[in-house]
Amino acid sequence: MNAAAPVADGRVRVSLPELIALRARVARAPAPPVVSRAPRSGQRPGRLHGRGMDYAESRVYQAGDDVRRMDWRLTARSGVAHTKLFQEEREGRLLVMLDTNTSMRFGTRTRFKSVQAARSAAMAAWYAIRGGDRVGVLSYGGQRQLIRPQGGSRGALAVAGAIAAWDALPPGDDESLSAALQRAGRLMHGASRVLLVSDGFCVDEASRGRMLGLVGKAEVSVLVVADPLEMAEPPAGRYPFAHRGVHYDVALHGDRQRAEFLRSLGEGRHRIDTLASSLGLRHRTIDTTADPLDAVIALLGTTRAA
């Protein structure tokens, strides 16, 4: 007889109602500024209080586009629905890259890293749409799927629903960050910002080169999710662990044992911190007990000058 699947309790499995309820938490935070990256005689981008209406280009219509912005002439000529983009709208898209590798299914305090990552991604989605951005999510690792950027509540709900559905699926094969970044470069759908949410164990030698390629297309920021046990040397004692149904104890009594244990558990965080710092990427680290909102605002609440 198969064991019952873990309940979506918000601790070891993602709870969709919680992801949706985070909207109210985000709504109480200061609204993000709307920042233009459109060139203005060499000056730095300015903060906007409305959308500019200078026509920039047309592209193929996507679900969630405002039908009032349809390019009817191009649609009639091509036989394919197109919508108009305006100067201040060209870069209002956020793509969240969500790590679903097996290392994320770990936690010793409050919740698994996978659940904290899901909460962070959902908060980023709710926060982005407050600023008028479209938002989408690309999962990598055990799940490798894409929800294209969409606007308004529809976009944030699509992100939350997809994340909850992916979390309920059986784990698949792991994926390196370099492979994920290569896919992201092909599937950005016009995103001007990318938020990577990961514990860093997926970082490989090729990640830096692939990240450089992505940075050339979009502004990239990194949210590192870590378990408290990965961030500080544990007190002496015995620690019970479970992995794929196997339970075992780890005895940590000597200073050397505890230091080696921390070095091993903290390797992912070290890798991704090194990567982000070497490329000058904005990055923050949270543990599984934290409220992610402050970190999300720090990463998405402002936009660097182009």
The one-letter amino acid code at 141 reads G
Distance CA 206, CA 181 (A): 10
pLDDT in tens, the chain (306 residues): 344 556 788 999 999 999 999 999 999 998 887 554 444 333 334 434 344 456 767 888 876 677 888 899 998 988 889 888 765 444 489 999 999 999 999 999 999 999 999 999 999 999 999 988 999 999 999 999 999 999 999 999 999 999 999 999 998 999 999 999 999 999 998 899 999 999 999 999 999 999 999 999 999 999 999 999 999 877 777 777 766 667 767 777 777 877 887 788 899 999 999 999 999 999 999 999 999 999 999 999 865 443
Q: How far is CA 33 from the centre of its chain?
A: 20
- HSE-CB of 19 using CA atoms within 13 angstroms: 30
> Looking at the whole model, is its pTM more than 0.85?
no
> 266 and 285 in contact (C-beta within 8 Å)?
no
Taking alpha carbons only, the member of 161, 217, 178, 188 closest to residue 62 is 188
